[in-house]
Chains A and B, each alone.
Chain A
Amino acid sequence: MSEIKNTNTDFEVRSLDAMCINDEEKKVPMWSNLQYLVFGILFGIVLIKSEVVSWFRIQEMFRLQSFHMFGVIGSAVVVGAISVFIIKKFKIKTIRGEEIILPKKDFNKGQIYGGLIFGFGWAMTGACPGPLYAQLGYGASVIIVSILMAMLGTWIYGLMREKLPH
């Protein structure tokens, strides 16, 4: 009984703002998560080799001194948008034959306040969350401090959530 109750609140909490509210219906074995490890490795290599993880490149971007970062993000969005369009248009299913669900996002003021706060942090650390992990792997051991602080920031947000304007 408590199990069922947990599952319901779980969905409710997750749907508030989790980026991954969609799930596979079918039970998938644990080892199938290894595919995400492989995709992550590919993503990490791209981040490093395109210097998206470079503090210097982020400074250039925010000073409008280079097109590089805008080109990376812009072309990523174009390719992503075309892919999503094709998936919707042809009702492409997952490899396990499930319908692909694309969650809609609702506007709340957190996207502005939180967005600005993240922007500050992005310009300071020169990294968004993905690059932090890649920088650590690349050998910048001190970045573990930034990652732990990012976890703490997330935790404090969770703690203060009800009191913050949304």
Chain B
Amino acid sequence: MSIIEMIKQPWPWYVAGPVIGLMVPILLIFGNKTFGISSSLRHMCAACMPAKIPFFQYDWKKEIWNLFFVLGVFLGGIVSAYYLKNDANVLVNEKLVTELSKYGVSDYSSIIPNELFNWGSLQTPRGFILMVVGGFLVGFGTRYAGGCTSGHSIMGLSNLQLPSLIATISFMAGGFLMANLILPYILSL
């Protein structure tokens, strides 16, 4: 198997995790920056619609590195789609396949379920809740918590910050509640 063919395969956790972890020292050493993604949403608010809200009254241009970083993440998605795509389905646990089939989700050809996330389903109750309400909660919650998976769970935990552990436990608790108790109702809509 050629190297490019190997890269195209889904990467195991023990390859991906350490590379993600290395983002922490890379950003610190190359520019004294702490790893964090959700701040980019705040900087975009500060840049586009500060509206005299004190929370957005700061010099966002000083944080522009963060916007370069997320632009890179976006470009990384494009690069993967054009050069590193593999045509195999996403392989998931059989139990999940059985459960999702009840809601008419059976297409595993893409990283996100095509039946749920598309422009047409945006006008259906479940598509609207997942994409619009879900997106809102991601933005509101991460800022309220002061960070997301990268800022708290990876950067904060790497620096042994107790508040980040509390935040991470809360992320997981919220996710467990939603996925197991509430999401079944949303998917049934």
Q: How many A-B contacts are there with CB distance less than 8 Å?
A: 547
Residues of B close to A152: CB separation below 8 A: 136, 139
CA separation between A165 and B140, bound complex, in Å?
14
A76 CB → nearest B CB, Å:
4
Q: Which of A51, A80, A101 contacts B111 (CB 8 A)?
A: A51
Known: A54-B90, A164-B144. A7 touches B59 (CB 8 A): yes
| Interchain CA distance A86-B21 in the complex, whole Å | 14
Query: Most A CB atoms within 10 A — which of B71, B141, B145?
Result: B141
- Contact of B38 with A19 in the complex, beta carbons under 8 Å: yes
With CB as the reference atom, state the residue of chain A lying closest to B36.
A19
Chain A residues near B162 (CB, 8 Å)?
107
- With A116-B170, A130-B37 already in contact, the answer to whether A142 and B138 are too (CB < 8 A) is no
> In chain A between 115 and 166, which residues have their CB closer than 8 angstroms to a CB of chain B?
115-130, 132-143, 145-159, 161, 164
Most chain B beta-carbon contacts within 10 A, residue among A66, A94, A115, A161:
A115
Q: Are A111 and B139 in contact (CB under 8 A)?
A: no
Contacts of A45 in B (CB 8 A): 76, 79-80, 84
- Chain B residues contacting A22 (CB-CB under 8 Å) are 32-34
Chain A residues with Cβ under 8 A from B129's Cβ? Answer: 124
Interface size on A, residues (CB 8 A): 132
The total of chain B residues at the interface (CB under 8 A) is 136
Residues of B within 8 A of A108 (CB): 146, 163
B95 touches A65 (CB 8 A): yes
Contacts of A103 in B (CB 8 A): 34
**Further pairs besides A56-B113, A120-B137, A138-B80: 17, Cβ < 8 Å:** A18-B58, A32-B31, A35-B30, A36-B72, A41-B73, A44-B73, A47-B76, A53-B111, A66-B93, A81-B160, A83-B158, A111-B152, A111-B163, A129-B142, A130-B148, A133-B70, A157-B140
Interface residues of B (CB under 8 A from A): 7, 10-42, 44-45, 48-49, 51, 53-59, 62-66, 68-81, 84, 90, 92-93, 95-96, 100, 108, 110-113, 116-119, 122, 129-164, 166-180, 182-183, 186
28 contacts between A and B (CB under 8 A): A10-B62, A13-B58, A20-B36, A36-B27, A41-B75, A50-B16, A50-B17, A77-B153, A80-B157, A86-B25, A102-B159, A108-B163, A111-B146, A114-B142, A114-B143, A117-B141, A118-B140, A123-B176, A128-B138, A128-B148, A129-B150, A137-B80, A138-B78, A146-B131, A146-B135, A149-B131, A150-B142, A154-B139
